[in-house]
Amino acid sequence: MRFDFLTIFPGMVSAFLAEGVVARAIEKGLISVHVVNIRDFAGDPHRTTDDRPYGGGDGMVMKPEPIYGALRSVGREGGRSQVILLSPQGERFDQAMAWDLARYDQLIFLCGRYEGIDERVRLLCADREVSIGDYVLSGGELAAAVVTDAVARLIPGVLGGTRSNLEDTFEGGLLEYPHYTRPEVFMGHRVPAVLLSGNHEKIRRWRRTESLRRTMKRRPDLLERAHLTREDEEILAALRGRGEVRAE
């Protein structure tokens, strides 16, 4: 899978690519990442990519011509590519969208700056407008990195275990169960005995219970659209019957 970043700060993207899951995926040849400097497509000696907004107001707006030129320089993978504008006004990014985007062969990120980009870029260039949350960042680079990381780890071979991404938080609509490793006791806190029992069915049941308990406590809204089994409903009924909401 190919990821393209269109940005005026390519160094921000390069730092993200240097380590971690994405870096290893690049080394394995499972994904490729290309960074395009929008300033290279500015039509003046000063490589200007922004200007004052029509109608007045504070801040500067990114010009459409350099962005359009940068986008045209990127080779697109036919109908299997998506041009994504990162914006706080976009569709909220979540795990379901990550899986949807992972179906494509190429994602092209338009990373805005300043007060935003010329509206005609959104109308003429973007296939999708995406937000990673209800807050404002200084630019789209960090948001694009978040989307890249979330999507890349869904590509077969990127993560070590074949089920690693299937057991993550939000897969199946629930928060993930807690994890423990050595030592068995740390600062007076002991690993739950069931995890040391070797009984795989009891461990599975405990993990599902803790996942439901944690979701009920922290994100009860997720339960409304989660895919719950009859066993899940029984566990939830028992938790609610005991009024059990444990402190973390």
**Residues labelled catalytic:** 88, 115, 153, 168
> Can you tell me the distance from the alpha carbon of 36 to that of 186, in angstroms, rounded to the nearest whole number?
48
Q: Does the CA dihedral 93-94-100-101 come out positive or negative?
A: positive
> Can you tell me the distance from the alpha carbon of 215 to that of 66, in angstroms, rounded to the nearest whole number?
45
Amino acid, res. 101: L
Among 182, 180, 175, 183, smallest CA distance to 194 is for 180
Q: Is the distance from CB of 50 to CB of 63 less than 8 angstroms?
A: yes
Phi-psi region of 94 (alpha: psi -120 to 50; beta: other; left: phi over 0): beta
As given in the structure block, the two tokens for residue 97 are 């969208």
